[in-house]
Structure 1
Amino acid sequence: MSIATMLAGVAGALLAFGLADLAAVLAARRQRDARGAAGRRPARWAAMLARLGRRVGVPTPPGDLGARLAAAGLGASVRTADAMAIKAGAGVAAALLAAPVLSALPLRLTLVLVPLAAAAGFLTPDIWVARRARRRADRAGLELADVLDLLRVAVAAGLPTGRALAEVGRRHGGLVATELRTVAERLELGLPRAVALGHLHRALPLAAIGQLTAAIARADRHGAPLGPALTALALEARADRARALHDRAARAAPRIQLAIALLLVPAVLLIVAAGLAHGLT
């Protein structure tokens, strides 16, 4: 194989990696929670891990697990006992998968690394739940200003708070509107407003949501007008959204520059060098 061919191959590999990284950066802006067929595969894996975890024993769930599941949007579909069964099954599966690989190492290292692999598998579902909750919070932060504006208009039009929540949830798509529609449905079923708003804050543990529930509670308790509070919350949410978008753009720019500097530019230079080497030989 000639030097020109080797340089051309390296250049092509670098170019492919660079284009893949740029595509990943652009696709990250449009990431959404998996739906449809993409969401059924993790559910099957979770069911298998839960069965395995129940066979070995389910530990006692921590006190904040329910809140973390609710923040990740899983509070209605995954119980805390099921989550602990999945964690236990993931730990056992990680230990079983790591044992054949680690058996080639000295026995002392194997006895240390296998429990570490089990612990890593046990903690992996927590990392996934935290990441999902963070993505939901980011989505809610981007949607919150528009939803609060609609809610302010509905309240100013004379609708009761529960009816305003239902109308905004029905007419506006998105994560926050869906949670507001869930609150309205719970109110129609007779759930106390404080309890329904508490579920909303657990599902979307944002400072603005806490202020919204507090404003609704003050309006119910003291008869204070809700419109000015919603206006202030919408303005603050819009400012927070602008800051979040600016920070996201600032984080994306260095990654694009790094990909260009380390991958695309060397790839082009290697292609030129391959042509020169071919001409010299």
Structure 2
Amino acid sequence: MNTLLLLLGVAMIFAALFVVFAALGGLTQERTGVHRSLAVLEALTSAPQEMKQELEPPFSERVLIPLLGRLQGLGSRLTPADASVRLRQKLEHAGNPKGWTVDRIIAGKVLCFLAALVVSLLASVAMGIGFLPTLGFVVLASVAGYLTPNFYLYQVAYNRTEQMQRALPDAIDLLTISVESGLGFDAAVAQVARNSEGPVAEEFARMLQEMQIGRSRSDALRSLAERTQMPELRAFVSAMVQADAFGIPVGQVLRVQSSEIRVKKRQWAEEKAQQVPVKILIPLIFCILPCLFIAVLGPAAISIINNFSGTVG
């Protein structure tokens, strides 16, 4: 019995020593880990800004770009083969907005589709409508979300075309004056691109760059016409290509085109002015006339109601 108690006491002593040494080692390791963490934090704090940017990429690079890559792959499998060509043409008409590519548009269409699907489904559940109305609402919202990037590109292209219609006559006049003053066609185009602003100046600058890298004048002009949706600019390009092919003096052609574009601009302004009464008809009927009727006939209606009710107004 005494021997058993002695062995048990020795075992407990060794166990206590083991626990003590283990605790000391754990504390040492913990302190070492804390020191290492503090050292890393201090190194990151004192590191140059370039190194911090490399070690800590922004949220867009860590999350958004991989997400867009996966959505792009999904959209590419669901999109028809010729859709990329149509999207690239729409981008050309919109002036190639910065950061917009065909792949990003496809990924954006999938993202808008999923967002519209989730939001419409949650809204339907919150309103507590039936199954068939929920299904129809979700389908319509999802399709609208999928087509949202296309609507945006169409609106950007439409606004850009209107800006070009306003600025084209002045650009052609400046081009005509520059050629008639003795400059060559390329120098006159550079003068227009340098002294003008907006989409027309950008398109002329791009045409000049294409001619400088080796493309012929006719090909550069045809590319200019393909990137726009303006009939006036297409007619101008056609006249300039024919003048270049048949050797007709450029100044004479420019003078005729300038006067024709001025006439078309006046006709376009008159057309817009004729559209004003039609466009103002809906807000006039639904917004202005009801308020006018309330303001004019309201006191008379109150007096009539008071008279019929037997009260004195």
The two structures have a TM-score, normalised by structure 2, of 0.63
Instruction: Tell me which residue corresponds to 1:90.
Output: 112
Structure-2 separation of matches of 1:49 and 1:237: 48
* Structure 1 pair 269–78 and aligned structure 2 pair: CA distance change class (3 A): closer
Partner of 1:161: 185
Matched letter for residue 254 of structure 2: L
Post-superposition shift, 1:106?
Answer: 3.6
Structure 2 equivalent of residue 211 of structure 1: 235
Choose the corresponding residue for 2:160, options 123, 129, 136: 136
Report the residue type matching 1:200 in the other structure: L
Distance 2:182 2:98 in 1: 32
Q: Is 1:152 matched with 2:170? A: no
* Amino acid corresponding to residue 257 of structure 2 in structure 1: L
| Residue 111 (structure 1) shift | 4.3
Q: Decide whether the 8 Å contact of 1:71 with 1:205 is kept in 2.
A: yes
CA displacement, residues 18-74 of structure 1 (integer Å, 9 cap, x when unaligned): xxxxxxxxxxxxxxxxxxxxxxxxxxxx98995673374433434222111111112
**Structure 1 segments of 4+ aligned residues over 6 angstroms from their partners:** 46-49
- Structure 1 residues 188-197 or 208-217, which shifts more? 188-197
Identical aligned pairs, as a percentage? 24
Compute the displacement of 1:166 (Å): 0.7
Q: For 1:211 and 1:199, locate their aligned partners in 2 and report how far apart those are by CA, in whole Å.
A: 13
Residue 251 (structure 1) aligned with residue 275 (structure 2): yes
Deviation sequence 1:81-124 (CA, Å, 0-9, x none)? 22222122211211111111234444455445434322221112
1:116 aligns with 2:134: no
For the aligned residue pairs, the C-alpha RMSD in angstroms reads: 3.2
In 1, are the aligned partners of 2:225 and 2:233 still within 8 Å (CA)? yes
Instruction: Tell me how far 1:217 sits from its aligned partner.
Output: 2.8
| Letter of the 1:53 counterpart | L
- Bigger CA radius of gyration: 2
CA contact (8 A) 2:95 2:199 kept: no
Question: Partner of 1:181 in structure 2?
Answer: 205
Number of residue pairs the alignment of both structures matches? 236
Task: Say whether residues 1:63 and 2:63 are aligned partners.
Answer: no
Question: Aligned letter for 1:129?
Answer: L
Given the superposition, is the C-alpha separation of residues 270 and 52 from structure 1 closer, same or farther in structure 2, using an over 3 Å criterion?
farther
Scaled by the length of structure 1, what TM-score is found?
Answer: 0.70
- What is the alpha-carbon distance in structure 2 between the residues aligned to residue 186 and residue 156 of structure 1? 24
Tell me the equivalent position of 2:72. 54
Per the TM alignment, residue 79 of structure 1 is displaced from its structure 2 partner at its CA by 2.0
Note if contact 1:141-1:241 (Cα within 8 Å) is conserved in structure 2: yes
Structure with larger RCO (C-alpha < 8 A, sep 6+): 1
- Is the 2:218–2:241 contact (alpha carbons within 8 Å) kept by the matching residues of 1? yes
Q: Unpaired runs of 5+ in structure 2? A: 1-63, 307-311
Q: Could you tell me which residue of structure 1 aligns to residue 96 of structure 2?
A: 74
Over 3 Å counting, the alpha-carbon distance change for 1:57 and 1:121 in structure 2 is: same
SS of match in other structure, 2:182: coil
CA distance in 2, matches of 1:274, 1:91: 48
Partners of 1:254 and 1:49 in 2: CA distance: 46
